[in-house]
Amino acid sequence: MRPESPLRALALVPLFALACVTGTGEELMPDEERPTTRDGGSPWSLDAEPTLPTVDAGFTESSPSPSAPKDGGPIESGSTPPPAPHVLQTVFLIVMSSQDWSSIVGSPDAPYINKKLLPDAAVAENVQTDVRGEANYIWLEAGSDLGIVDDGLPSANGRDTPDHLVAYLEKSGISWTSWQEDISGTTCPLTTEKKYVPHHDPMVFFHDVTEKGSSSSANCMKHVRPYSELAAKLTSGSVPAYNFVTPNLCNDMHSCDVGSGDAWLSREIPKIQASKAYTKGGVILISWDEPKSGKKMGLIALSPFAKKGTVSSTRFSHASTLRTIQEIFGLTPLLRNAAKATSLAELFASYP
């Protein structure tokens, strides 16, 4: 047999030295730079089976899948998985008007509320406010009255601040609509129409919504829509995430009796409850803007995740409702008085 060439023997020395370090040569590469197989071994092991490249997202079937970044880029190795999605996904806030809770609970004029809604709901029986009229709606949107002390039109009481609920929703890419009964939908409703009044529609008091108070604002008309259009959205499954609902002055119990509002709720609530938006993580909050003569108002929370039959005597406010909505949608910072308000979390078995 021909003797081994000296040159060939020398060429084999580096390879032999590599293998002698650990038997595989792995220690010559820093740990953080070494590729691994799905089971944690080295793809360079001498006895490794050849495999096709695989993509490992860093989670198992039993762990939550991380969401891709908003920019569509890859998830960084070792990054913390995002929090689990909130159970509450869609909010319907229906604001009734000018009734003490004592005028509602147990009233023969409100059979639907008392016999149908309350047994299936969690109830707050001690909601209080220190302001009147329009200011209550501004609280629900901004966490304070922003200095508004009367029921003036948006032309007089409009505000420039970008710090309010629907502006935060917009910034976060979360859909919203203010559903108002009796508006035409062909203009931004900055003045009274039939039994619609602007001071029950807080969004139109913010200049970033109305484009500086323009009745022809396309942005306003996109987001402030006739209530009659909501039914089709419920049926088609295209409901926005946040829905602010104001019945007209009769149906909200403001100018008509409790029975008129109860009848309206009996017609409209079942439509919402039949929708996927409600059954798949929805919540209906039925609130009142202010008491008629006493101090306490009620709030009714309907949801697959509500603590049915619960009656809370905790003192809440409109800032509590605002804080709850911000927590449901993960919106920060908490707006003004919402930061120190008690949320409605105790009304829910799972939250937010």
pLDDT digits (tens, 9 = 90+) for 334-350: 999 999 999 999 999 99
Closest CA to 320 of 312, 211, 269: 312
Q: Residue 347: phi, psi to the nearest 5? A: -85, -5
**Domains, the chain:** 90-347 (3.40.720.10)
Q: Peptide bond preceding 270: is omega within 30 degrees of 0, i.e. cis?
A: no
pLDDT at position 80 is 65
pLDDT in tens, 201-244: 999 999 999 999 999 999 999 999 999 999 999 999 999 999 99
Low-confidence ranges of the chain (pLDDT < 50): 1-77
DSSP run (H or E) holding 302: strand 297-302
pLDDT at position 11 is 40
* 3-state SS assignment for residue 21: helix
* 3-state SS assignment for residue 27: helix
The pTM for the full model equals 0.78
pLDDT at position 84 is 77
Q: Which stretches does DSSP call E strand in 87-128?
A: 90-96, 122-127
